[in-house]
A and B are shown apart, each in its own frame.
Chain A
Amino acid sequence: MRCKVAEQARDPFIEQVANELRRPVRLDPRFDERVMAALDAPAVIPLHPGRQTRRPWLVRTWTVRVSPIAIGIAAALVGVVAIGAWQLRPVDQVQVAMQPIDGGNLLPVSNTAEEPLVVHQFTLYRKDITSLALVGEFNSWDDTATPMTEVSKGVWTVSVPLRPGVYQYQFIVDGTKRETDPAVPQVESDFGSPNSVVTISPKVP
């Protein structure tokens, strides 16, 4: 990977700059220890916890002033809506007997445990293959967790209960080859490979 720049005579000034920048730097002596501790943590442990960082607005603390009358009106409205929703609930609503595939730490932060599961069917048309699996943020990219089934010639499918949110995923063809879903948008992952993106919207009652 390293390529000594020999194809052209180097500018002495740039070489002087580069030499200076090639000097080693000091890192925290406990850096390795912190990295290893972070591997098991649900999120990256901040190296410098004293530093002030701006929190996303979703998790920031808000101060709201509300009058007692407004609270009473809001409570009454919530009661009316709750009773209406109970009476109008669909008979075939998916009951959470299935365990949600939420990918552990990789679950998008927009999801909450209160949101009902939505069963999403992933489908790929691919002939002349022997196996197909689904990997994504919802199953920790585990290529053995979600195998797909060939329901008819070349039509592979699997249904996955997901909470509303945005998920990246890929297909694993024949156990080795990664492919994206041609039917949905793609994003570039941190590793340079394209990932398919699916947005799961909340279930409409």
Chain B
Amino acid sequence: MTLSRGLPIQNDSDAAVVARVLAGESGAYAIIVARYRAQYGRYAVRMLGSREDAEEALQDAFVRAYRSLAKCDDPDRFGPWFFRILANRCRTAGTRRSRRERTFVSDDFALHGASEEHPAERAAWREELARALQRLDVDQREAFLLKHVEELGYDDMAVITGVGVSALKMRVKRACERLRMLLHEVQGG
């Protein structure tokens, strides 16, 4: 199959690419993968706290979306449709993972460009933040990421999660409180 490298990621609309895939040009799906890999990969890594788990969930979501592409009623909004699938996969993986003991691997959160003035302090802060995030309940972590990191409105969050707006607001509020408490403890405040 054709890989995403070199494909015109920006030129075709999602609907046009989806139409090509449904017409039998399965290699065009690589455009979709390349288009959404980074944004949704970030969400998966933040949700699951591990690059390996995140890549598995992301791959699973892309494959499921591909096999159900004909059910995407509005191909121009492939992104939100796909995000719902991914959120489901991450929730399932997160719930399953939280049942077993797990050691956080700080490298999973090692990010690009550690060029800050105090790289050691910065790295420690990132590690503590990542650890605190993983200590949130799956529901709270999901709501926090959707609201504050992905910057979605509550109506969109409700569509993705299938949870009511008021419940989501409560989850976000509790997630913020807990993060504040966990990170405040770390900073010795």
Contacts and interface: CB of A to CB of B under 8 A. Distances in A.
Interface of A: 1-5, 11, 13-14, 17-18, 20-28, 31-40, 44-48, 51, 105-106, 141, 143, 188, 190-193
Interface in B99-115: 109-112
B84 interface: yes
Interface of B: 1-5, 26-27, 29-30, 33-34, 37-38, 41-42, 45-46, 51-52, 54-56, 58-60, 62-64, 66-68, 70-71, 77, 79-81, 84-85, 88-89, 109-112, 125-126, 129, 133, 145, 147-153, 156, 159, 162, 176, 179-180, 183
B71 A191 contact: yes
Contacts of B145: 21
Contacts of B64: 190
Contacts, number: 145
Contacts of A28: 51, 55
B34 to A, nearest CB: 6
A44 B84 contact: no
B12 to A, nearest CB: 16
Given A18-B148, A188-B162, A191-B84, 15 more contacts: A1-B152, A25-B46, A25-B109, A31-B59, A32-B3, A35-B30, A35-B59, A44-B63, A45-B59, A47-B59, A51-B52, A190-B85, A191-B68, A192-B84, A192-B159
